[in-house]
Amino acid sequence: SDCTVKRPYLLERAGFDITDPSRISVCIFAIPYLPPAADAPDRNLSSYAVCEDYHVFVRELAQALIPALQADFQSNRFALFADHSPIDEVKAAIDAGLGVRGKNRLLLTERYSSYVFLAELVTDLSLTPTPSPLPPELRVCHACGKCTSACPMSAEGGECRSALTQKKSPLAPDEQHTLAHFSRVWGCDICQEVCPYTARARARGTIYSPIPFFHQNVLPHLTVERLDGMNDEQFSRRAYAWRGRDTIRRNLEYHEHHTRFGKEN
């Protein structure tokens, strides 16, 4: 991908010479993550949190990939980024032809819909960019509006309910009520589930990840008991670990209280 470096300090930390950004090449990856376990009827986590944290996958990939590349290209530098990236990952993936931008701001791919994580290999090895086969005006979805129509927060002008599940500060009474009545204790997924790209990928049978990592240690339904049963190492490998145990436990307690006593309250 031929893309603009937005956070050069990340490249500088990785040892790159950033005086000439044109010498930086990027290989962008769309990594499918959806496991069949995400279809569990009692799932209460966003689909990306059913498997272990993709940051763990990227870290383990880097540990295998970077030394192998370094052995073959000893005079060049390589670094693997995901999420906290020196570039706009979605734009780079679109420019490289991996998919289009949805109204939900996610990358939509034909094979896996939006159930992909983005990562990129950055190098000072000279590579020829692979341009997108689509002109700029077609690098967006058809804007059918299903994602925005289905989103319970778009009509209210609020942010995604996923942000509410990640909120660390005390919740206002209306936020507590929303969280208690929501089917997720972490994340959301509504805009992904109603997307036509998702329907097509499911119909073709391509939507699930072929990568073994995302099929191991899956946990679609989290409870306080299961949370407390995780040791620190196990917890650190879950997507919600960065917010700490207290935040996810609070969400579970609101939800479980409503499930038990909702009819009386």
CB 195 within 8 A of CB 150: no
CA distances from 129 to 17, 86, 105, 125, 220 (A): 20, 17, 24, 12, 39
Contacts of 240 (CB under 8 A, 6+ apart): 45, 49, 186, 247, 248
- Catalytic one of 17, 39, 83, 232: 83
Q: Is 83 a catalytic residue?
A: yes
Residues with Cβ within 8 Å of 103's Cβ and at least 6 positions away in sequence, in order, are 141, 143, 145, 147, 148
How far apart CA 243 and CA 164 sit, in angstroms, is 12
Q: What is the dihedral of CA 35, 130, 5, 238, to 10 degrees?
A: 10
What gap in Å lies between CA 167 and CA 128, rounded to an integer? 42
Q: Which residues have C-beta within 8 Å of that of residue 166, sequence separation ≥ 6?
A: 186, 243, 247
Cα–Cα distance, 95 to 87 (Å, whole number): 12
Take residue 130 and report the two structure tokens written for it: 């692979």
Residues composing the chain? 265
Catalytic residues: 83
